[in-house]
Amino acid sequence: MRFARGLQAFKNWQLTLRKIVTFVVSSMRLSQKFEQEAFDMRNQVWRQAVVMLLVWGLMLSSFAPLAPAQTRTTGKTSGDFAAGDGVRIKVWRDVSVTSQSDISSLGLNGDFLIDSRGYVLLPIVGEMRAVGHTRRSLAFAVEDSLNIRAARVMCSPLIRVTLLGAVNKPGSYLIEPRESLWSLIAEAGGPANNIDLKKIYVERGGETVIKGLREAFEQAHSLEQLGVRSGDQIYVPGMSNFSIRTVVDYATLTASFVLLYFQFRDRYR
């Protein structure tokens, strides 16, 4: 009887143990399942976040403002020449090449204006695009258009500069950037008698950008070295004619009128 009870208690304990083990195993499996699902969920969240960031980046880049296109007012888009400026062409004969062509009669030696489209009209050659060329490439293009084996061409860019003030011929000039300020003034007929070298200044867009150019004038610095650009205005002020001698002359004239007045007044009193 006791043995039967003990056996039944052992079976009950064994059954309870199995239930406990089954519960623990089930709990572990469930925990592993939850951990795997949580891991998968985290990965999915990260993937979605990355995709959203990429989409937002593409959207922002598509709506970002484009960089402003380079225009003629900001200078040269490429090459050495700009619309509205000029080109100086020199043509000579290559003596090492045998040719019967008369190079001097071509009429290409001179300064030519580049129009607003970037083209220059040349004798013999006709209309040719200058903007976008370097000095060398434009020279080669002119040589190819001439189709004369003995012709050699050199092209130099010219900038537009307005010279105003105490010069004999104020106005707008095309000049090489490598030329000096003195060369520009000489091209304008030279300085006037009352030129004031201490006060020469450069204006750009209504603002003074360069001043105190006396030393640069005396040392023949180039316009390029001075920072002069195409479209700049160079002012050459003149000295005032007002002097001590002028004051004395006006004082003498005034005194003469005063004395003349008193003489007339005393005579007809």
Q: What is the pLDDT of residues 96-137, one digit of tens each?
A: 777 667 777 788 899 999 999 999 999 988 999 999 999 999
pTM to 2 decimal places: 0.55
State pLDDT tens for residues 43-62: 665 666 655 666 566 666 55
State pLDDT tens for residues 128-174: 999 999 999 999 999 999 888 888 999 999 999 999 988 899 999 99
Cα 176 from Cα 185, distance rounded (Å): 13
Question: Which of these, 213, 221, 178, 177, lies nearest to 75 by C-alpha position?
Answer: 177
Least confident of 94-103, 213-222, 227-236: 94-103
Q: Residue written as tokens 């009950």?
A: 12
Question: Which of these, 156, 182, 26, lies nearest to 81 by C-alpha position?
Answer: 156
Cα 170 from Cα 193, distance rounded (Å): 14
Least confident of 32-46, 75-89, 140-154: 32-46
- The CA-based angle 44-47-51, given to 5 degrees, is 140
Q: Is the pLDDT of residue 178 over 80?
A: yes
Quickly count: other Cβ atoms within 10 Å of residue 48's Cβ.
Answer: 10
pLDDT in the model for residue 28? 64
pLDDT bucket at 74, cuts 50 / 70 / 90: very low
pLDDT in the model for residue 119? 95
Beta bridge partners of 36: none
Q: Residue written as tokens 């200044």?
A: 201
More confident residue, 204 or 267: 204
Give the chain's domains with CATH numbers: 76-158 (3.30.1950.10)
DSSP string, 49-99: HHHHHHHHHHHHHHHSPPPPPP-GGGS-SSSS--TTSEEEEEEEE-TTS--
3-state secondary structure (DSSP) of residue 257: helix
